[in-house]
Structure formats: structure tokens, C-alpha cells
Structure 1
Amino acid sequence: MKTYRHCFACDLKDDPELIAKYKAYHAPGNAWPEITKSIKDAGIVDMQIYLTGNRMFMIMEVDETFDPQKKAQMDADNPKVREWEQLMWDFQQALPWAKEGEKWVALEQIFQL
């Protein structure tokens, strides 16, 4: 199976207490099962989030079935995903250059070895 990589960035609110709570929600076994299921159902085979300060980087490995528009529609149709996203927005803030309503901003690859 061929996979494709997508990378994104998003900021957390610069508050150590909020950052600690956000990390706790994402600790192994703590993400809601409906959320991990929706991720896998969309063709995302691996997802990792890294944090430095309050800036996060997400790396997604997707298979050939992944379609960003389809994933957005699946999320919009899933009340549990909408609830999770609203909860996470309590901790997150948009990057200064993000478009209106955009949380995770796609990264541009500028180097590959």
C-alpha cells in the first residue's frame, strides 16, 4: 500500500495549564475512541503531533483512499467529531496567517534529503 504524507501546524494558547490539559487529552489511550475511528475511517493510517512551546506540528500518513474534502464532510456529519473539535478549540488558536476558520495550516515542504 502506498502512503502519502501531509504536515500541518497549529498553535495552542500560550498557557502552561491549558497546554498540560491538551497533552493529557492526547496521551496514549485518552483520545475519544470515536475520534480515532473517524481518523482511520478517512484513510489516515498514521498521525503524530509534536509540540514545541505552544506550536504543534502534525504529520499524517494517508493511503490512496484519503480525500480531504470527504474527510471534512465526514467530520461535519459526525456529532462526536464536532464536539471534540469544539473542545479542542478551547486550547488551540489559529496561526496569525491562517485563513478564516482554519485551524491546522498545511506546511510547505522546502527540503528533502
Structure 2
Amino acid sequence: MKRYCFTLDLIDDDELIAAYKQYHQAVWPEILDSITSAGITDMEIYLSGNRLFMIMDTNEAFSFDEKAKADLKNTKVQEWETLMWKYQQALPGAKAGEKWRMMDKIFKL
């Protein structure tokens, strides 16, 4: 198993944040399928203010490149990503089009 952690900001608007949370209470089944079929075994997203933190556990076969290729071919994933971008905003220093930014682990007990 491999663990990755990411962060992303939401647009700082209470109504938009509430809507974003609602979508994540009933994630579309096609999105869940795309996540698990890529080799992601567990995923959690936490919210503090408008900052999101995602923990993603994967199996040994998981590949970011393969996941990205599959997502580009999946119309429901593209629809979901377009919809979610209405609520999300890039972090300072993000590259063009970059959403979730991978975090570096700096401590482990």
C-alpha cells in the first residue's frame, strides 16, 4: 500500500462550500468506480474553513499516469471534474490547470 496526501482550496463562500459538501455525501457511482478501478483502495477528504485535505491509499498497481489517461476517456469523470471546478480554486503557486497538490510528508511517528 502507498499513501498520498493532497490539498486544495474551495472558493471561500459558505453556500458554495455547503453545495460541495452535499455532492460529496452522494458521489456519483461512476466516480466511485473510476476511483476503485484505478487501484485506489481508500480515500478520505477533510475540510477546514475552505481548505481541503485528501488522504489516498493505493495498491501497488496504481499509476497516476494510467488514472489520468482513464479519466480523460471517461465522460462522467470529466463532467464531475468540470462541476467540482465551480467550487474549487487553485492554491497559490499551482501550475496552470493544477487542482489537487500533492503534499510532502515531513513527519511520521
Which TM-score tier does this pair reach, normalised by the shorter chain? over 0.9
Count of aligned positions? 109
Q: Which amino acid aligns with 2:68?
A: A
1:18 is matched with which residue? 16
Matches within 5 A, 1:68-107: 68-107=64-103
Q: Percent identity?
A: 59
Residue segments in structure 2 that go unaligned for 5+ positions in a row: none
Note the residue ranges of structure 1 that are not aligned, 5 or more in a row: none
TM-score, length basis structure 2: 0.99
Amino acid at match of 1:67: S
- 1:63 aligned to 56, 59, 62, which one? 59
2:36 pairs with one of 40, 44, 59:
40
Q: 34, 51, 73: which is aligned to 2:47?
A: 51
* 2:6 pairs with one of 8, 12, 15: 8
Whole-Å separation in 2 of the counterparts to 1:98 and 1:105 = 7
Poorly superposed stretches of 4+, deviation over 6 Å: none
Structural RMSD (CA): 0.4
TM-score, length-normalised on structure 1?
0.95
Deviation string 1:77-103 (CA, Å, 9 cap, x unpaired) is 100000000000000000011111100
